[in-house]
Amino acid sequence: MSKSTYVLRWIAVLPGAFLSAFLVAFPIHWAVMLIQHLGTDSDDSGSGSPLSLYYYLAAIPPEVLEYFGRAFFAPFVAISSGAHIAPNYKFPTAIALAIGFGIFYGWAATMIANDISSGLYTGGRWLRLAITIFLCIAGLATGLFQARKYDKATY
């Protein structure tokens, strides 16, 4: 690898990670729309029957299902793609990205919790926040696991 390619790949790690996290929202949206279609379809395929997984996933409002999908897949894809872009030190790069995401998610969760406790939101917001935090942590851990696999493959 030439020195300019090496430097450009290090420069592209952070923008590439954020761009991939942004772009993963489109397939998530398409998957949610497909789930909504298959879960409410009443044709002879049986996909709209209570025995189908699509039936139960379609019972969740689509915006909530999409929100939870982004909560898991955005950090997973950002960390794994950032580690994949890095020319070397893939796992330490993934750890640095995970720390950055953890700081951002901690700040955002604190702000949302303050808004919920002040009475700005009503309903099951605490449960939604807890599920979102759990999915973000699971996405971070899965991204780190994937980055570790990339790191082992390069050595």
106-155 pLDDT tens trace? 998 888 888 777 776 666 777 888 899 999 999 999 999 999 998 887 76
- Which domain covers residue 121, as residue numbers? 3-154
How many distinct structural domains can be found in the chain?
A: 1
What is the C-alpha separation between 31 and 54, in angstroms, rounded?
11
DSSP letters for 105-148: HHHHHHHHHHHHHTTSS-SSHHHHHHHHHHHHHHHHHHHHHHHH
pLDDT at residue 31 in the model: 92
What is the C-alpha separation between 94 and 75, in angstroms, rounded?
10
pLDDT at residue 93 in the model: 94
Mean pLDDT over 45-70 rounds to 77
Of 100, 95, 83, the residue nearest 149 (C-alpha): 83
Residue 10 per-residue DSSP state: H
Helices (H), the chain: 3-23, 25-40, 53-58, 62-85, 90-117, 125-154
Mean pLDDT over 102-108 rounds to 91
pLDDT at residue 57 in the model: 83
The overall average pLDDT reported for the chain is 86
